[in-house]
Structure 1
Amino acid sequence: MSRQIDYSSTSQYPADEVYATMVDPDYLRSRLKRIGGPGADLLEHTADTEGARYRLRHGLDAKDLPPAVRGVLPGDITIERTERWTRQESGRYLGDVQVAIPGTPASAAGGMRLHDTADGGSELQVRADVTVQVPLLGGKIEGVVAEQVRKLLTAESAFTQQWLAGGR
C-alpha cells in the first residue's frame, strides 16, 4: 500500500526562470542550508537549459519526528532525494523524483511538472507515492510522512519565491 501526495504551488515568475533557479547549485545549497536539516548536502549535480539531474541529502533529527514514526524508525534519519528535469519546450518542464531513506522500509517516487500559466507566472505540480513497508502500521506512518513531505514542499516553494525576489 502507499499514500499519494498531490502538491501544487504557483509563482509570479515564468517557468523558465523558476526552472533556472530550482536547478542552480548555489540555490540548492542555500535551500539545503536553510531547510535541509542536519547533514544536508548537494551530493551530485548536472544541469543546463535542457535538463537537470541532482541528488540531495536531507537530515531529520529524531526529536523532530512524530512519535508514531520514532517507534518504527528510531534515531536520526537521512533522506536521499534524486530529481531529474527535462525541458519539453519553452515554459514547460517534466521531472521525476526518487526518495530513499537508507536503513528504513520507507521510500517515495513520483512525477513533477513545471509550466507557464496564462497570467505570465508558472505552476509547479508534484504527485508522488510514499510507501512504508511495515505491517499494520505502514499506512499510518505513510500518512505522517506524506504530511511532512507536503510541509517540506511548501517550505521549499516559499524559499524559491524569496530567492527569485532577490531575498537571498
Structure 2
Amino acid sequence: MPKKFSFTSALDHDVERVHATLTNEEFWKNRIAASPTGDAELEVRVSGPGTISLTMADSMGTSGLPSVVRGVLPGPLVIERADEWGPLDGGIAHGVLTGGARGLPITVSARSELRAGDTGGTVVEVHGEATVKVPLVGGKIEGLIVQLVESMVRNDSREIDTWLADS
C-alpha cells in the first residue's frame, strides 16, 4: 500500500528569486557537479520562460541503509529523480516530482507548490506518495523512501539559499 507524505520547506528569499533559481539550468548543473559520488547524471530541458524539466540520477552508498534494504538491493542504490516546474503565475508555481531507484520497484509521485510565505520568504509544499513493491518488506522501505524525499527537498532548499546568498 502506498505511503502518503506531506511536508513544507521554507526559504528566506522572495518567491520570484526562488522560482528563478529552481528554473535556472546553471543552478542544477552546479548542484549535480557537487555530488560526492562523481558519477551523477543530469538532463535539463527549458521549455519556455520560467519553466524547466530535469532528470537526474545519482548513486548512494549502501552501508548506511537498513539491512532489510541491503537484503533486496541487487547492486548499488541509484536514485532517479525527475522535476518539472511551471511558470510563476500570480505568485504561485506548481511542480511535479517523480522518482524511483534502479533495480528496485520503487515509485515516488508528488505535486509541489511554490508560493510566498505568510511572513515573508517562500514556502514549498510537497504532497505525494511512495510505493515499494517488494513482498514483506515494502512497507518498511516506503518509510525510508519518504525520509529520503523529505531530505532531498530540504537539501534543495539549503542549496537554493546558498545559491541566492552567493549571488
Alignment TM-score, normalising by the size of structure 1: 0.88
Q: Superposition pairs for residues 1-168 of structure 1, below 5 Å? A: 1-35=1-35, 37-87=37-87, 89-166=89-166
For 1:120, what is the secondary structure of its paired residue? coil
Q: Which amino acid aligns with 1:107?
A: T
Alignment deviations for residues 67-120 of structure 1 (CA, whole Å, 9 cap, x no partner): 221111232122221111112514210011111323211111110100012433
CA RMSD in angstroms, aligned pairs only = 2.0
Equivalent pair of 2:93/2:115 in contact (CA under 8 Å): yes
The percent identity for this pair of structures is 27
Amino acid of the residue matched to residue 100 of structure 2?
A
Change (3 A) 1:113 1:128: same
Could you tell me which runs of 5 or more consecutive residues in structure 1 were left unpaired when the two chains were aligned: none
Query: Aligned-pair distance for 1:125?
Result: 1.0
CA distance in 2, matches of 1:2, 1:37: 30
Q: Which amino acid aligns with 2:56?
A: L
CA contact (8 A) 2:25 2:44 kept: no
Q: Which moved more, 1:30-39 or 1:109-118?
A: 30-39
Contact 1:36/1:58 (CA < 8 Å) preserved in 2?
Answer: no
Of 96-105 and 28-37, the range deviating more from structure 2: 28-37
When structure 1 is superposed on structure 2, of 49-58 and 105-114 the one drifting more is 49-58
User: Which of 87-96 and 139-148 deviates more?
Assistant: 87-96
**CA deviation after TM superposition for structure 1 residue 166, in Å:** 0.7
Return 133-142 or 62-71, whichever deviates more. Answer: 62-71
Q: How has the CA–CA distance of structure 1 residues 33 and 66 changed in structure 2, closer, same or farther, with 3 Å as cutoff?
A: farther
Unaligned segments of structure 2, at least 5 residues:
none
Q: For the residues of structure 1 that align with 2:153 and 2:35, how far apart are their CA atoms?
A: 10
User: Following the alignment from structure 1 to structure 2, what is the Cα–Cα distance between the partners of residues 97 and 72?
Assistant: 25
